[in-house]
Structure 1
Amino acid sequence: MRTKIDQILEYILSLLLALMVLNVLWQVASRYLLNDPSAFTDELSRYLLIWVGLLGAAYASGKGMHVAIELLERALSEKQKRIQKLCIQLVIVVFAFLVLIIGGSRLVHISFELGQTSSAMQIPLGYVYLALPLSGFLIAYYSLSDFVNLLKNN
Structure 2
Amino acid sequence: MEIRKKIDKVLGNTLVLIMAVMVVNVLWQVFTRFIVGTPSSFTDELARYLMIWVGVLGAAYVSGKRMHVAIDLIPRKISKPNQVKLKIFVNILIIIFCLAALVIGGARLVYITYVLEQYSPALQIPLALVYLVIPISGLLIIFYKVSDIFNKQLF
* TM exceeding 0.5: yes
Show the counterpart of 1:37.
39
Show the counterpart of 2:145.
143
Gap runs ≥5 in structure 1: none
Q: 1-side partners of 2:74 and 2:91: how far apart? A: 16
Q: 2-side partners of 1:27 and 1:95: how far apart? A: 38
Whether the aligned pair in 2 keeps the contact of 1:86 and 1:150 (CA below 8 Å) is no
Show the counterpart of 2:126.
124
From 11, 24, 38, give the equivalent of 1:9: 11
How far did residue 147 of structure 1 move?
1.1
Q: 2-side partners of 1:78 and 1:46: how far apart? A: 44
Q: 1-side partners of 2:150 and 2:98: how far apart? A: 17
Task: State the 4+ residue runs in structure 1 displaced beyond 2 angstroms.
Answer: none
Q: 2-side partners of 1:121 and 1:110: how far apart? A: 19
How far did residue 150 of structure 1 move?
2.4
Identity, in percent, stands at: 51
TM-score (norm 1): 0.97
From 22, 25, 29, give the equivalent of 2:24: 22
Show the counterpart of 1:48.
50
Deviations along 1:14-69, one digit per CA (max 9) or x if unpaired, are 00000000000000010000000000000000000010111100000000011001
Q: 2-side partners of 1:118 and 1:27: how far apart? A: 18
Whether the aligned pair in 2 keeps the contact of 1:60 and 1:66 (CA below 8 Å) is yes
From 41, 60, 63, give the equivalent of 1:58: 60
Deviations along 1:124-143, one digit per CA (max 9) or x if unpaired, are 00000000000000000000
Secondary structure of the residue that 1:150 maps to in structure 2?
A: coil
Show the counterpart of 1:104.
106
Q: Letter of the 2:144 partner, please give it.
A: Y
Q: Letter of the 2:22 partner, please give it.
A: M
TM-score (norm 2): 0.96
